[in-house]
Amino acid sequence: MQSIEPIHIFPSPGEHLCGLAFDGTLLWHSDGMQEEIYGIELPTGRVVKTLPCPGVKTGLAYDGKYLWQVVGSPKYLCAIDPATGETAGTLTLQPPTENACGIDMAGGRLWVGVEIDARLQERNVADGTLVREFAARPRIAGLTFAGDCVWYNEAVEGLLVCVNPGDGSVTAEYRIGGMPTGLTWDGQQFWVADFITKTIKAFRP
């Protein structure tokens, strides 16, 4: 398995690193201790916007209009207007899971990584119902859609894994180290939140 090194790295704004998402301009990063979502300038790492988000848990995604954050217990998704910080709606996962971790929304589909049960799930973006699922590595963490593949972090071994969304087969794996949690793609490189070093890193396999 090939190991790759980060091409950019900067300190995270907080101590409990959760999700990452990219809106075309800003990198958004959620923190479970501060219960905030930060808009971060790239590649400097400068925080230019802070949104309150009570109950932050794990994954964060951007659908082209709203930020979607996993929150609460039992976990559900909360849509947040990045311009105002106001809640625009919620989405309950059916069947529910307390282990929802990484999420992404792409092409009208919702992808969810379930960390303890080690599953990669496609869910209906309208009502959160389960469409299909594949086995994944434990512990699947952050998740993003890039190119024609679903990519996720494995937090224990420090891996970046590429999956064919058609049949769930693994097509590539890279060792990136640390304890990667949040993951997103900006069109050129992956951004990874590393819980161990409290940093956000960019990788280009």
Domain count along the chain: 1
**pLDDT band for position 108 (50/70/90)?**
confident
**Two tokens at 154?**
């494995």
> Tens digit of pLDDT for each residue in 147-191?
899 999 999 999 999 999 999 999 999 999 999 999 999 999 999
- Do the domain assignments include residue 118? yes
Rounded CA-CA distance 160/153 in Å is 5
The answer to whether the beta carbons of residues 63 and 82 sit under 8 Å apart is no
> Tens digit of pLDDT for each residue in 34-75?
999 999 999 999 999 999 999 899 999 999 999 999 998 889
- Do the domain assignments include residue 197? no
Look at the alpha carbons of 57, 61, 63, 66 in this order and tell me if their dihedral is positive or negative. positive
- Is pLDDT at 96 greater than 90 in this prediction? no
- Do the domain assignments include residue 196? no
Average of pLDDT values for 3-16? 96
Predicted local distance difference test score (pLDDT) of residue 95: 87
**Two tokens at 204?**
């280009």
- Do the domain assignments include residue 100? yes
- Do the domain assignments include residue 198? no
- Do the domain assignments include residue 204? no
Rounded CA-CA distance 70/93 in Å is 10
> Tens digit of pLDDT for each residue in 129-155?
999 999 999 899 999 999 899 999 999
- Do the domain assignments include residue 202? no
- Do the domain assignments include residue 78? yes
Which residue range(s) make up the domain with 136? 2-191
CA torsion, ordered 27, 33, 36, 41, to nearest 10 deg: -30
The answer to whether the beta carbons of residues 181 and 195 sit under 8 Å apart is yes
More confident residue, 115 or 9: 9
CATH number at residue 164: 2.130.10.10
pTM for the predicted model, two decimal places: 0.94
Predicted local distance difference test score (pLDDT) of residue 169: 96
